[in-house]
Structure 1
C-alpha cells in the first residue's frame, strides 16, 4: 500500500513537473513569436504586425468597440488574399472571427443599418463569399443578400450613379467605386449569371464622363450631379482637387471588378481602357522618388507631402493590372519602384520587427459637419496616422502582387 502511494506521488510529481515545463515552453514560444521575423515576405510581416497590435480583428484601426466598417473590409480582404497565397490558419481565423462577430443566425449584420444607404458598408461583405463557400452556412448567404438589397435600393443620381451615402444626395465619390462595385461584381458573377455587369460598368462610365479633367486625365475626388454643394464647380459639378487616395480607390476598384467580368463581355475592354488612361495620367505626376503626393498634381506646393495610402494603392493596381495583362508590362516596374520607395522613405521597422507605415492621411471627405470644402489647404492639413488601414491593406496587396 505504501509503495503504491509512493508510486502515485512520483507520478503526480512527474506530471506537475511536466506541466510546469510545458507552461514554460508555451510561454517561451509566445515570446519568440512576438518578434516578427524580418526574413519573411513584407505581406506576412505587415499582417503579423496588425494581428499583434489588434488581437481581435474588430480592433483594427484602434476601434474601441466592434463595428461593421469599410477599413476592416479592406485590411481583412488583403489578409484573406495572403491566406489564399500562403495558407495559414492564423490568417483564416482572423478574417472569419470578424465576420462571426457581426453575422447573426438570421443573416442580419450587427451595427449595420441598411436605411443609411452608405455605400462604404458594402465592402466588408466581400469577406462573406469565402466563408460561405467553405461553410455553406445559410446566415452568410442571407447577409450577402442583405447587402445586395442595399445595392438594389441605393439612391441614384438622375444619370443612374449610386449616391455615396443617403446624407450626400446626388454625389458620386471615387471612393464609392471601390466600396460598392467589387462586391456587386462578385455577387452578380456568383449568384446572378452576371446580369448586372452593365450597371457596374455604368458607374465607372459616369465617373469617366463627369469627374475626369480633360487637361491632365486625372479624376476629381467627387462629382455632384445637382451642382448644389458649395464645393461643387457650378458648371461641371466637380470637386476642386485631385486626391491621391481617391484615385487609388478608383484604380483598385477597376482591377478588382475585372476579376469577375468575362473577357468577352462588351464592357470589359472599356474598363481596361479606363485603367490605362488613369494609370498614364498618374505616372505623369509621379514624384521622382517613386511616390505620389497627397494632392496629386501639386508636388511643388508648400505643405504637400508624399502620401502612403495612395502610393500603396497605385502600386497594387499597377502590379495587378500588369500581372493580369490589363496594363503594359512597364507598370510592374513602376509598381516595384513605388514599393522600393515606400520601404526606403515611409516605413520604419520596430524593435520586435513590427512594420510601421508613416505619412498616411487618416481621413478626408467632402461636405458634412464640420464642413470639408475640398480645398488644397483642407487636404494637406487633415491628420496623418501611422499604419492607417487605408495604407496597410493595399501595402499587403501590393507586396503579394509583386512577390516582395
Structure 2
C-alpha cells in the first residue's frame, strides 16, 4: 500500500529519476518508453523537471548535424526508432535544428528498410518474411508522428497500411485479439504450418500494438481514407481486451489463458491496455461503457504492481523482462514459452507504460 497525498504516478516518476538520473548512456528502445511516459507527464503537469529529464537523456547523444550516438541505420531494427519520438518535443521546445535533423535521420531508415512481400517492415533484418505486432509501437508511431509534424503523407499512408496488414493476418476475427507473429513462408519453428501464425496472445506484444494503433489514428487527418478501418480494428481489439480483463482489473501475461497454472498478472501489458481504454474513451473511439473498465484497470495497476520501500521510494513490480519469438530455442510461441519469462522491478518498459496510462486516466477523469 502506498501512502501519502502526492499522486502515485508522480512519486513513481520522481523515484525513477532518483534511481536513474539520466538515460544518456545508450540509444535504447526501453529508454524511449520511459522518456515517452515522462513526456506525457510533463505535458499533463507543466512541470519542466520532466522535460529536463528528457533533454538531459537525449541531448548528449545528438550532434549538431543530427547524428545519433549509438544508432546504426543499416542494422535495420525497428526497435532503434522508438526513442526518437521525443525528438519532436525537443525540437519544438528548444528550436535546435539538430533534433529535427536527427528525426529526419531516423525517418530515412524507412526508405530502405527491408519489407515483406506485402509491404510491412521486418522487425529486424535477420527476421526474414516475418512481421511482429510489436513493430507498430516501436516504429510506426514515430513514422506517423513524423508524417504529421513534417507533412509527409507517404509516411502516414504507409504506417496505416502496415497496421491494417498486421490486423488482416494476426487478428482473430472472433476474439478481436492478435497473436504476436506472422511468418509469410510458414517455415519458422514457431509458425503454424498452415496459417504462418504464432499460437499465443502475448500481453505486451498486443499492448504495443494497441497503443501504437491508437496513436497512429490520432496522427492521421480525420478524412484519411484508412482512418475508419483503423478505428474499426481498434474497437474490435478493445472489445476483446475487456473480455479477458481479470477481476483485479489488470491482465495476464498470456491474455486468454488466465486460468492456467503458471500464468501471471503482468504490469506493462496491463498499463498499455489501461492507456488504450482511457484514451479511446476520451477521444470518442470507445463508448462510455468502457470508462469504468479503464478506471478499474488503473486501480488494479496501483493495487497489483505499485510498492513502497522503507525509504519512501515507489517501485513498479511485475513487468516481464523479455519475451518474444525465435532467436532462443524455447521461444516457440507456446503458452509455456511466455510464462517462463521472469518479471523485474522498475523495468523501463513497465514504468514508462504505467506513466502513460496514468496520464490518460487523469485526462479521462478531467474530460
Of 306, 329, 340, the residue aligned with 1:347 is 306
How far is the alpha carbon of 1:90 from its aligned partner? 1.8
Partner of 1:49: 15
1:336 aligns with 2:295: yes
Partner of 1:254: 213
Partner of 1:33: none
How far is the alpha carbon of 1:369 from its aligned partner? 4.0
Q: Report if the CA contact (8 A) 1:51-1:57 is conserved.
A: no
- Work out the CA distance in 2 between the residues paired with 1:357 and 1:139: 34
Map residues 152-167 of structure 1 onto 2, 5 A cutoff.
152-167=111-126
Q: What is the SS of the residue equivalent to 1:332?
A: helix
Displacement over 4 Å in runs of 4+: none
Q: Report if the CA contact (8 A) 1:367-1:373 is conserved.
A: yes
Q: Report if the CA contact (8 A) 1:38-1:353 is conserved.
A: no
1:198 aligns with 2:198: no
Of 276, 287, 292, the residue aligned with 1:317 is 276
- Work out the CA distance in 1 between the residues paired with 2:36 and 2:297: 22
1:129 aligns with 2:77: no
Map residues 2-401 of structure 1 onto 2, 5 A cutoff.
38-58=4-24, 66-369=25-328, 372-401=331-360
Q: Which moved more, 1:306-315 or 1:206-215?
A: 206-215
The aligned length equals 362
How far is the alpha carbon of 1:371 from its aligned partner? 5.2
- Work out the CA distance in 2 between the residues paired with 1:332 and 1:353: 31
- Work out the CA distance in 2 between the residues paired with 1:330 and 1:51: 36
- Work out the CA distance in 1 between the residues paired with 2:8 and 2:153: 35
- Work out the CA distance in 2 between the residues paired with 1:158 and 1:248: 26
Q: Report if the CA contact (8 A) 1:163-1:169 is conserved.
A: yes
Q: Report if the CA contact (8 A) 1:232-1:238 is conserved.
A: yes
How far is the alpha carbon of 1:55 from its aligned partner? 1.2
RMSD of Structure 2 on Structure 1 (CA): 1.6
Q: Report if the CA contact (8 A) 1:37-1:45 is conserved.
A: no
Per the normalisation by structure 1, the TM-score is 0.86
Q: Report if the CA contact (8 A) 1:309-1:394 is conserved.
A: yes
- Work out the CA distance in 2 between the residues paired with 1:235 and 1:215: 19
How far is the alpha carbon of 1:364 from its aligned partner? 0.4
Q: What is the SS of the residue equivalent to 1:196?
A: helix
Q: Report if the CA contact (8 A) 2:186-2:194 is conserved.
A: yes
Q: Given the superposition, is the C-alpha separation of residues 371 and 378 from structure 1 closer, same or farther in structure 2, using an over 3 Å criterion?
A: closer
- Work out the CA distance in 2 between the residues paired with 1:275 and 1:355: 33
Q: Report if the CA contact (8 A) 1:42-1:396 is conserved.
A: no
Q: What is the SS of the residue equivalent to 2:131?
A: strand
Q: Which moved more, 1:362-371 or 1:281-290?
A: 362-371
What residue ranges of structure 2 are gaps of 5+ in the alignment? none
**Which protein has the larger Cα radius of gyration, Structure 1 or Structure 2?**
1
- Work out the CA distance in 2 between the residues paired with 1:201 and 1:250: 12
Per the normalisation by structure 2, the TM-score is 0.95
How far is the alpha carbon of 1:370 from its aligned partner? 5.2
How far is the alpha carbon of 1:93 from its aligned partner? 1.1
Q: Report if the CA contact (8 A) 2:141-2:212 is conserved.
A: yes
